[in-house]
Structure 1
């Protein structure tokens, strides 16, 4: 189930999200803050292609066409887990709640005061505590996932290297600072936040509008881009962020 949804997201984003990037992600070590050799990345790039995954529903099997290919579910597993957690809670008769798994959130029902859940979206370039949250959005029976270049990264020669890699190059993407996606399921919001991050603001917003999915993108210059449906619902916090919003 999760692999099918991952392959679907890979196709819709044109490979911006690709679960076969595992052979490349294993080269990067963000704890030791080391960049792999260009040669090693180039050697493994031919192993990255979601089209080389063969799924067999009848036998519940997965076949990878090339030896050395590795599946990395890091871009969808948390969203999937949030979906399953909410399903489990509902089976136990729980009517409302909020599940948060490291940046992936799913809310169902209303808060005890009968209001929707208010979710804060982090400012990817926080300078002080007052600027930590750049926007808020109210949701119910929806999931929201955020991908950003500020969680796992290091800087070498003034260049930021972070964990969101372009499957086509094997290197960090610098078109965005953060991407937040809002949809019914975490298996949509999680992979698409990564895929849209790779695509960039212009292509990303266009794809989201075509699919009827809501999103907030902070581009490399700090400008905020949102889907049309979200503009009236999103509350931008802080003067600096209001000035950078684009409609």
Structure 2
């Protein structure tokens, strides 16, 4: 059994990206980080010449033809954004830029400003042409933002790159998106140990340890990007219907799934549904599992066949 790991890191996508292998392989590491950088350049809204920025720049003017990979991701984001009661909306860009949460100039906008920007966030105002891979935002000022699913998509692509290079035991960590390949060589049961952060912890304490193999673990939480004004906390997970940060009983949602893209999508959707509705949804979708961390310091686990959880925090309880 292998008993030592080799961790490689780079700062990409605004976070520290790490790849853990159990045999050193500089060639594969180079391919992985090169792949991540290429995809980041295509998908980000923080690059002047990315494909997504080209679409946004042409809003209200004309369609933009993009690569098949980018179109496929946009198509998935579009479908999820149109799901009934979906808190996921990839056309939320104008609101994100208005609030600037987590960035310089963050503010609580006026009700009128929020109303005006909401008019530019309707995914029904987006036209997709699968034949030509063209994307058209009908209104000037509209902006799509793939930030909510780009990490998941990229993590899944990295997994394919590793498998193509005959690596079947590894951990990919894209900062909030952790994807495990195969079984851990360090555990007799083959489980990888993934830490779940304690929300708002000053010293990165953990709520608990998630044990999985060959699964994705994605967490969305209100502690990731936020600011406080007049004793009220404003976080980055928006209600697409109101334009304000969602306000419910949850501090974080962690989704355990087969793909990281699913994790990205459903961590947002389940957070928006709240614990009760999300639990009902998950019962009908046993391929997905979730860990809900509540503001009342309790933790709820749903569909535990896909993972094990060990509570380590004294601040939280399992009912």
TM-score w.r.t. the length of structure 2 is: 0.70
Alignment of 1:1-247 (within 5 A): 1-12=72-83, 14-29=85-100, 30-32=102-104, 33-113=106-186, 115-126=190-201, 132-175=205-248, 176-212=250-286, 213-229=288-304, 233-242=308-317, 245-246=318-319
Deviations 1:161-219 (A, max 9, x none): 11111111111112121111111111110121122222211122222222221011123
* Equivalences, count: 242
| Bigger Rg over Cα | 2
Q: 1:74 to 1:98 in 2, by over 3 A?
A: same
Deviates more, 1:43-52 or 1:155-164: 43-52
Q: Point out the more displaced range, 46-55 or 72-81.
A: 46-55
Could you tell me which runs of 5 or more consecutive residues in structure 2 were left unpaired when the two chains were aligned.
1-71
Q: State the superposition RMSD in angstroms.
A: 2.0
- Asked if structure 2 preserves the Cα contact closer than 8 Å seen for 1:205 and 1:226, the reply is no
Gaps of 5+ in 1: none
Q: 1:232 to 1:15 in 2, by over 3 A?
A: closer
Once the two structures are TM-superposed, the CA of residue 122 in structure 1 deviates from its matched residue by 0.9
| Relative contact order higher in (CA < 8 Å, ≥ 6 apart) | 1
Q: Alignment partner of 2:284: what SS? A: helix
C-alpha displacement at 1:65, in angstroms? Answer: 3.5
8 A contact 1:20–1:71 mirrored in 2: yes
Contact 1:13/1:199 (<8 A) preserved? no
Under a length normalisation based on structure 1, what TM-score does the superposition of the two structures give?
0.89
Deviation at 1:153, TM superposition (A): 0.9
